[in-house]
Chains A and B, each alone.
Chain A
Amino acid sequence: MELETDVLVIGGGMAGLAAACSAADAGASVIVVRKGHGATADSSGAIDIAGYLPGGNTPFQSGREGLRAITGLFPYHPYSVLGQESTETGSQFEKALERVEHSVNMLKKWLSGTPAETIGSLERNISAVTVLGTSKPTSLLQKTMLPPDWDDDSILLFEGFAGNPDFNAVLAAKTFMAERARVGEPPKKIADSELTLSPFGKPYNVSPVEIARHLDHPGGTAFLADSLSKDVERTGATHIALPPILGLKTPAENRRILEDRLDVQVFELLSFPPSVPGLRLLRSLDNTLAGLDVRILEAHEAMNYEQSGNRIVRVQCKTHHRSLDILPDSVILASGKFIGGGITGSENGLSERLFGLPVVSEDWTSTDGIRPQRLTRPISINSRGHALFACGVAVDMHLRPLDGSGNTFAENLFSAGSVLAGYNYPVEKSGLGVALATGVFAGTNAAHALQEE
């Protein structure tokens, strides 16, 4: 079977969905093929733009500051690539900032009114609190996850759920308190407690998504409020930190119910997978795409392609028992890194799975034949990160991948997200931000390329 489309997006995470949205916004017909969910669905609820320089220990005060530093220092960073068309309109930083700002505005619009409604800006990084009680700088957060303001009189209660080992309120509270004491900032009083909420009657092996679904049911959140009231009374809590379980459908409404009934401020902590906020984000973006008449072909994997001259003219996809050929005018490769499967590696080195594009390191040097161990450091968790996670494809100023000779691989192939080389998201705290900004830019470029024809 064959399908024609203006833009084919390969990959259905943040980069692919942002690309699809922006291409559709620009009037293109769009098909997304998604072989499975990936890192975006596993994400924490934060949308990082820029938190740190690799190796640096002082967090950026804002996404803007981060963009300035990164574009100044790392010419091969995707943010720098976004700013490359800078000759007429100002500096590389300004151009990059403009593009990232645009993408943030687009995202906020797409997610407006959804369960993943997002707040924050490039003007000030937020110190988000995680399920381990640690803090991290991020630019955007799902609305229910924004830590409220607190002062010296505030009492913050970390509340856990019996039988849900994904979150331990005792250690999270201790970690958070130690951190607050170290920087000398409120809140000064921190408590922890655990309540029993067993959607299926057993106070063990309770998954976060079960609690979230339960809270979406009529009366579910009111019941939680009743259970919480004893702990609020006992601890005098003015603020409550919950693991991210405030519902899949109506988290903001559920939070409001809790706040009204308990007269406290409530927020969710950043999540580890399996992630309720990740699910909210992906579902909300999927719905936005449906509203733009974009088709997402679930469980379809791009397997092969045909090239005619300097253009990709056909992408062969397979699903369980059928195959499907897509005839696109433009293609956006947003297939992710190792989790998404866009980049794979063996003892013989790394490769890009679909087009066989050369994989380069963070400074765009070839990784040809280098075994993965050599792209890592002896210490697992370190602030400089492992080069392995900054490897990917090199691109031109329109985000079109480059071949081994540094030429554009195909004039109608664009790329976005973690398949790109040049950024080390785990240590930079820049993952979804780069995915979003490059996704929007690639989508716009792909749609723009159509109009040129």
Chain B
Amino acid sequence: MTKTDYDVIVIGGGSTGTAVARDCAMRGLSTLLLERDDIASATVGTCAGMISSGLKYMEEPDIVDMCSAEVVHFNHIARHIIAKDPILTPMLEMSDLSTGGNFAEEYSKRAAERDVPPVLFLTPEDSLEIEPMLNPEIIASMYFEEFFIDPFRLCLLQALDAQRHGADVKTYTEVTDILLEKGAVRGVKVFDRTTGETSEFISSTIVNATGPWAHKIAALAEAPLELRLNKGAHVILDRRVVNVGIVTKAVDGRMIYLFPHENTVLLGTTALDTWEDPDTLTASHDEIEYLIKSMEWVVPSIRDARIIRTMEGVRPLIATWKVPEDDVTRGYEIVDHKTDGVAGLFSFTGGKLVMCRHMAEAVTDLVCEKLGIESECRTDKEPLPGNEDDVDVLALAEEYGISQHTVERMRARRGTETRDILALTRDHPSWKSTICTCEPVIEAEVRYSLRNEFPQTINDLRRRLRVGTGPCQGTFCTYKVAAILAEEKELDSSVANLELLNYLAERWKGKRPSMRGQQLAQEEVVQGLYACVANLDRVVVNYEPGPWEEDA
């Protein structure tokens, strides 16, 4: 029989929700995590993955302290999905130097605990040696280091670890109502988007970690909640065109960046207040040009780089009005709706990726207090799955006869799980075949993910494996993945072909706003394969456009 009663229900499968579910489960609470889409499918899925030491909030020393400490925790629990980026801030004018000075001081105070150097200053010549793409006109540059995490894997690992500690995780399960009884929450009503069925789950405690939808979820309990929604766009380049991250001032004086991430580079980000449905948002031409124009001053050739796609996400800022977005605190708040007459409902506003574990600890403390449970938080001590041990890539490549680079990429996603995945090829040698040629991903990992990580769609597999995130943006792996998905999940061919088109549509959402250069040729190949040859433009008749696809 399906379990319906829980100590706590966490709504939202982003970085915060999964962290909360993990913390609750690790403290022995019976926990249910509900996500209306997939893990990491919204805000966190469109971020740069920086677990920031707090460089943007130097005005808020407490938050900087917290961020810095959290970086240390992440490096302890998730080092297998973390990489360090050296970063340069090139200065073109003397005024850049003075603003840099304040930052340098604050940053350097906490550098030692993160095992990074204090801010360093480099001559223009040395800066150009390190990064030949820089504008030769620079007068100096500032150097510092930040850590970056795979945000998809982080969320998934938190969810899987929650499961491992007894939590139930349900994706594609949308909360349609919050059940109330005598001024307190009693549970939730949900709609299962896969089966189309509705059901109820009971709990006296609900954590609302739904980011930009938090006010809507709160409204289901008639609890007021205000957010300042703020959207940000990223432009993604096909490879690491720079050796180091670059931070610089944008056209309007905000700070923007160019960060190597996995084997791409992210150019971001914009900050615009928004009232749109987050599901319909795509990057606008203005945002793309704002980013390119701003970065061009310090990296003149950036306009010629290959843009493979864009992404747009929404920040759920704490509602502070009549100040620029930059001046809104990057801290977080936990709203206990008891004061609104809804006991047992806690909502998050604000927050950053780097704080997600901290936020979870704080809310779980409140939940435990409410439930009268005494239990210590261990989320900063116990490693996330895959981080238990070092992985010898060369030895595994040799043992399984798989290319070193393939194993290294798998290691960067999987850590010690790499061994379990490769072991599958003992019984199924053909699963050593490369499915996504860009990242790359072999068939064994696709099968492993389908069997162990509850993906429903190719897009879910993309979050778990990075299939389709390379230069060709799924041109050559989508149909291969669709076939594996169909086999593992025993899908009808019509469903499988729809799923194929859904993923092409999802990729197109990000590619379309920035179409130029060789991406036009890449798109001609996509059309050549799926329309011209496979005739899917005619064969698939029941395609439902996504919210962003409404033809004007």
Contacts and interface: CB of A to CB of B under 8 A. Distances in A.
B291 to A, nearest CB: 12
Contacts of A377: 551
B207 to A, nearest CB: 36
Interface stretch (A77-85, A107-115, A228-236, A333-341): A333-341
Interface string A375-390: 0111111110110110
B523 A204 contact: no
B503 to A, nearest CB: 10
A381 B285 CA distance: 22
Contacts of A59: 538
Given A44-B532, A165-B434, A378-B549, 20 more contacts: A42-B525, A165-B480, A168-B480, A168-B483, A174-B492, A202-B429, A205-B432, A273-B529, A337-B524, A339-B524, A339-B528, A346-B516, A372-B516, A377-B551, A379-B549, A380-B501, A380-B504, A380-B512, A381-B505, A429-B535
B549 A171 contact: no
Size class of the contact patch on chain B: 35 or more
A168 B541 CA distance: 22
8 contacts: A175-B496, A202-B429, A372-B516, A376-B512, A378-B545, A378-B550, A381-B501, A388-B515
Contact of A347 (B433, B516, B529): B516
B533 A345 contact: no
A171 B434 contact: no
Give the secondary structure class of B's interface: helix
Interface string B506-521: 0110001111110011
B531 A339 contact: no
B493 interface: yes
B479 interface: yes
Given A170-B486, A171-B487, A379 B505 contact: yes
B323 interface: no
B531 A381 contact: yes
A272 B475 CA distance: 11
A133 B540 CA distance: 12
A93 interface: no
B126 interface: no
A136 interface: yes
Interface in A410-432: 425-427, 429, 431
B226 to A, nearest CB: 32
Contacts of A189: none
A163 interface: yes
Given A205-B434, A371-B285, A426-B531, A383 B551 contact: no
B534 interface: yes
Contacts, number: 186
A63 B67 CA distance: 66
Interface of B: 285, 288-289, 401, 429-435, 443, 476, 479-480, 482-484, 486-487, 492-494, 496-497, 501, 504-505, 507-508, 512-517, 520-521, 523-541, 543, 545, 548-552
Contact of A383 (B501, B525, B537): B537
Nearest to B507: A380
Interface string A162-176: 111110101100110
Contacts of A193: none
A132 interface: yes
Return the 10 tightest CB-CB contacts between A and B, nearest first: A168-B483, A380-B508, A136-B535, A426-B527, A174-B493, A204-B432, A426-B531, A175-B493, A338-B521, A426-B532
B515 A381 contact: no
B536 A381 contact: yes
A42 B534 contact: no
Interface in A258-310: 270-273
Interface centre among B433, B476, B494 (most CB of A within 10 A): B433
Contact of B443 (A57, A165, A388): A165
A164 B433 contact: yes
B533 A178 contact: no
Contacts of B497: 132, 134, 175
Contacts of A2: none
B508 A338 contact: no
Interface in A120-157: 130-136
Interface in A355-379: 371-373, 376-379
